[in-house]
Structure 1
Amino acid sequence: MPGKKILMIVGDFGEDYEIMVPFQALQMVGHEVHAVCPEREEGDVVKTAIHDFRGDQTYLETRGHNFELTATFDDVDPADYDALVVPGGRAPEYLRTYDAVLDAVRHFFDEGKPVASICHGPQILAAAGVLDGYEMTAYPAVQAEVEAAGCSWVDEVTTDKNLVTGQAWPDHPEWLAQFLDLLGTEIQHGQAAPADD
C-alpha cells in the first residue's frame, strides 16, 4: 500500500515531542509529511518547547529544538493531502487566529479525512468549529474549551469517526497506533537474520 500524504500544522513553541515524534514516526512507516507554519516557508525553522511533567500543578516548559519546515504554508492545498496532524504546545493558542489554518482544518473534517490531534492541538479544532458531536480528549486544561465546542470528553486516547486524540506526549504509542489504523497503515514485522560470526 503506498504511503499517504500528510499535512502537519506547527508553530513556534509547539511541543517538541509532539512535533518531532509523529513527524519522524509517520515517515518511518512510509508516509510523506509536510510540516507547515503560517508566515513561514519551506526550510525556515520553528522553535519548539519541551513540556515536562514533574509533579507540579502544570507542566514545566523548557526550550526544545529548531524544527525545519518541509513545505510552505501558502503553497499547500489541503485537498492534496490524505490526513492532518495537529500537535500541541503553546502554538495552537495563536495558530487558531489564522483564518487559513481554520479553513485547512475544516477541509479535513468536511471530507472525513483522518485527523490526529494531541495536547493543546484541539484548541485549533475548537476554533474551527468542527468538534460538535465528537467524543475526544485533549490536555486536561483544555477540557472546558473543547466541551464548549460541542464534544463529549473522555480521559484516554480515543478514535471517533475520522479523529484521533490524545492528552499529551506520553500517549504517543497508543495515539500513533490508532492514527496508523485510521490511515490503513499495515506494518510488516519480520525476523532479523542472525549476524555472521
Structure 2
Amino acid sequence: MGAKRVLMLVGDFVEDYEAIFPYQATLMAGHSIDSASPGKKAGSTVATAIHDFEGHQTYTEKRGHQFPVTIDWEKVDAANYDALVIPGGRSPEHLQLNDRVIELVQQFFAANKPVASTCHGGLILAVADVVKGRKCQSYPSVRPELQRACGIWDEPTPGLDGVTVDGNLVTAAAWPGNPAWMREFLRMLKDEC
C-alpha cells in the first residue's frame, strides 16, 4: 500500500482552501505531493484567492496567500504520479486553455489513476473530455460545461459540503466539501495497490 505520489495542478488565483487543504491533508496522510503550474519553476508561487459565500448571487473573492510551486512545469510527467488533484477558483479558467494541462489530465484518466477535482476544476475535466457517462459535481455554474461534455450532473448539497465518487473520480462543489472530498480521495489512495 505505502506512500503515493500526488500531483496538484495550480495557477494564479487558485482557491486558497482548495489548494492548501488537500496539499496539507495529503502530506498528513503520509503521501508526497507536487504542485505544478504552467510556465512556473520549483520555488516560485501562485497567488491564491479566498472565495466566500456571503448571501450574494455568487461568491465573493478576496486575496489569499502565495502558494508554493514545488516542481518545474517542464519536469512534470504523469507516469511519475499515482494520483491527481485539481483545485478550483479562477485558475481553471486559464489552465483549461493549456494543451499540456489537458493532456496530463487525459493521461491520468487513461491509466485509471485517482483524480480529485473540486469547484471550477470541472472546467478542466470538461475540456479534457473525461466525464462522459460519469457522475460528478462542481461549482453549480460549471454544470452546463460538464453536461455538454456528457457528464452526469450530481446536484451539490445545499451547503456545498458533499462529495461524488464515480470510479477513479472524486468531485466536490466547493471548499465547504473539503473534508468529504479529501476523505474519499485519501481512501482511494489507501486502497490502491
What band does the TM-score fall into relative to the shorter chain? over 0.9
Q: Deviations over 1:79-117 (max 9, x none)?
A: 110000000000001101111000000000001000000
**Whole-Å Cα distance in 1 between the matches of residues 191 and 63 of structure 2?**
33
SS of 2:2 mapped into structure 1: coil
SS of 1:113 mapped into structure 2: coil
Partner of 1:191: none
**Whole-Å Cα distance in 2 between the matches of residues 55 and 184 of structure 1?**
38
- List structure 1 segments (4+ residues) > 2 angstroms apart after TM superposition: none
| Aligned-residue offset at 1:180 | 1.1
SS of 2:35 mapped into structure 1: strand
| Aligned-residue offset at 1:45 | 0.5
Partner of 2:169: 163
Give the alignment's TM-score, normalised by structure 1.
0.92
In structure 1, runs of 5+ residues without a counterpart are 187-197
Matched, 1:184 2:168: no
Matched, 1:174 2:183: no
SS of 2:187 mapped into structure 1: helix
SS of 1:7 mapped into structure 2: strand
**Whole-Å Cα distance in 1 between the matches of residues 2 and 73 of structure 2?**
24
| Aligned-residue offset at 1:127 | 0.7
Give the alignment of 1:58-73 within 5 angstroms: 58-73=58-73
**Whole-Å Cα distance in 2 between the matches of residues 126 and 144 of structure 1?**
10
| Aligned-residue offset at 1:54 | 0.4
CA RMSD in angstroms comes to 1.1
Q: Structure 2 counterpart of 1:14, which letter?
A: V
**Whole-Å Cα distance in 2 between the matches of residues 151 and 47 of structure 1?**
30
**Whole-Å Cα distance in 1 between the matches of residues 73 and 84 of structure 2?**
13
**Whole-Å Cα distance in 2 between the matches of residues 122 and 33 of structure 1?**
21
Partner of 1:42: 42
In structure 2, runs of 5+ residues without a counterpart are 157-162
| Residues matched between the structures, number | 186
